[in-house]
Chain A
């Protein structure tokens, strides 16, 4: 069916004819002929133009080689710790003292990984981290997108002052406001409502509320930066989009969900990735608001102590600093693995789409 249509199509007919009429290819020139032709062409040019062309020829030949060297070198520097991590995580501790071993261990063992899993109580920790940190980061992406959209697309009184608050959120170090925040959660009584009703303040310390509540109101980790990113990217979309949607009878919320969000895919991806990474690696907030919180970042920070307690029999097994590396690197490996896998899956969209993520245009 498709074929018959294509045959009847006058344009494709025309194209076929033109193809047939195309002159035959010129025979390939030898290198010598080419050089002569280049010389002839050069003679027609002014000296300045000649200089320019020669210089360009030279840089075009040399630069790719230099660039390849630089890129390779820098890539190596970045990958070096990761390669070392993989190499160290799978070698037995004795191999650390063997000076002949640089990269490839003589014996491959899984015991370090197994020990690290036990010491970090990995599966339970992973579950806690997923529920708490990843959940929060997902919630935060949605709420910051809504806020960013409000700042990007609507004019209202006091917008500049409110946006100044957003900028302040980026600037103020979280350590400054930590204690008042702690007091807020410890004696939770928003605007004195509970006090009026004659009830005592509630303590939310050591519950998920301390992380979910800020995320739910677009005030979680680095929320200011995300709001800023979303605002920039929504501002870049054409104004006609929402006017058209409004004429078609979309409410602002439907416009946002069905017209704007699909157009800001790259930004969502970027913020999603950043948000997950920062929540995943966070131990500052979770140590402050929790008495004994078992997230991966925290467990990794305390890996030393836990290893001694659980694997080295409370210090009875002697392990020197060099040998300890194999367990530490194994712990690192299993803690970044989930994020690394996620990054590798999203990597193509992330790196190529980042140009349009609205970071430009201050």
Chain B
């Protein structure tokens, strides 16, 4: 038998295929084909039947003509709730995204410093990651509300809205208070949710902070940088790629959260066996996610600084 001679590099390439082969077979069956299939469904009328689903062309009831975009039209024009939920989810997102990112960065910087009890503090901050994903979280928050022990209310009194208003009026700013206090109250009354949502983001930022080379820290200390300057000129540029990662993660996490309203509506429609419509909704929803992420990338790309 003649041995086939191959270079080391070529052989390594073949082994590479070997390592990813298992995943690729799985991805083909469980990801790529289903993804294309659901895309196909979204342009068709899909109904369950015995033994198979029947896929037929979409026909507009009013005009009697074929219209492959009918599902999309139904989703946006006819469906009573989809559009409204979509706007609400996007609004929520726009409001909570900056808060989540800033807050988790703040916490990460704090628990990256050396102090007594740091290990304990870290363990506590990562605790939500363990618990917050499941039904436990829903029960916890629900119970706290019914028992009137909601920590959110207790903490929001610390930032009494009137106080902010009065402070601003004292400084001489009138009328500004309304939008500002509204924003502030949403943030503070939501502090439990906020803290519980940030676990992974804190982890990502923490590991980014530890990636800042010690030489940069030393140089800054020798030049006499204050911690404020250090934050803006050393920390922020170094972790800017991770800020993008965190934004992306936060967006995806909140968009794909099964408890959000659009997802709820989607599942409702699925349980009514209207697969075509639900596929169309899911795809337009996904399209919106991609557009949002695209915009974020375009903005952030100019601000991100890479170390090379």
> Which A residues fall within an 8 A CB radius of B?
48-49, 52, 55-56, 59, 64, 67-68, 70-71, 74-75, 77-82, 84-85, 88, 96, 143-144, 146-147, 149-151, 153-157, 159, 162, 165, 168-181, 183-184, 187, 190, 213-214, 216-219, 223, 227, 246, 252, 256, 273-274, 277-278, 280-284, 297, 300-301, 303, 321-322, 325, 328-329, 331-332, 335-336, 339-340, 343-344, 347-348, 350-352, 354-357, 359-362
Decide if A71 touches B53 in the complex (CB within 8 Å). Answer: no
Could you say which residues of chain A place their CB within 8 Å of the CB of B8? 246
Could you say which residues of chain A place their CB within 8 Å of the CB of B151? 77, 80-81
Could you say which residues of chain B place their CB within 8 Å of the CB of A49? 224
A126 to B203, CA, bound (A): 30
| Complex: chain A residue closest to B263, CB-CB | A175
**Chain B: minimal CB distance from A285 (Å):** 11
Which of A56, A169, A177, A218 is the one whose CB lies under 8 Å from B38? A177
Decide if A351 touches B115 in the complex (CB within 8 Å). Answer: no
A297 to B263, CA, bound (A): 19
Could you say which residues of chain A place their CB within 8 Å of the CB of B289? 171
Q: A74-B107, A218-B22 are in contact. Are A154 and B12 (CB under 8 A)?
A: yes
Decide if A162 touches B279 in the complex (CB within 8 Å). Answer: no
B: number of interface residues (CB 8 Å): 99
15 contacts between A and B (CB under 8 A): A52-B224, A81-B140, A84-B149, A149-B19, A155-B9, A168-B31, A171-B290, A173-B282, A177-B30, A177-B37, A217-B25, A218-B23, A297-B135, A343-B130, A351-B123
Could you say which residues of chain A place their CB within 8 Å of the CB of B143? 84, 88, 325, 328-329
Decide if B111 touches A71 in the complex (CB within 8 Å). Answer: yes
Q: Interface readout for B247-259 with A: 1 if CB under 8 Å, 0 if not?
A: 0000010011010
Secondary structure dominating the interface of B: helix
Decide if B125 touches A74 in the complex (CB within 8 Å). Answer: yes
> Which B residues fall within an 8 A CB radius of A?
8-9, 12-20, 22-27, 29-35, 37-38, 41, 51-53, 107, 110-111, 113, 115, 117, 119-131, 133-136, 139-141, 143-144, 146-147, 149, 151, 155, 191-192, 195-196, 203-204, 206-208, 210-211, 224, 226-227, 241-242, 244-245, 252, 255-256, 258, 263, 266-267, 270, 275, 278-279, 282-283, 285-286, 289-290, 293
Which of A85, A171, A277 is the one whose CB lies under 8 Å from B252? A171
Which of B31, B136, B242 is the one whose CB lies under 8 Å from A335? B136
Decide if A360 touches B208 in the complex (CB within 8 Å). Answer: yes
Which of A143, A169, A325, A347 is the one whose CB lies under 8 Å from B147? A325
Which of B34, B191, B290 is the one whose CB lies under 8 Å from A77? B191
**Chain A: minimal CB distance from B252 (Å):** 6
Q: Which 4 A-B pairs have the closest CB atoms?
A: A217-B26, A154-B16, A150-B19, A281-B134
Could you say which residues of chain B place their CB within 8 Å of the CB of A151? 19-20
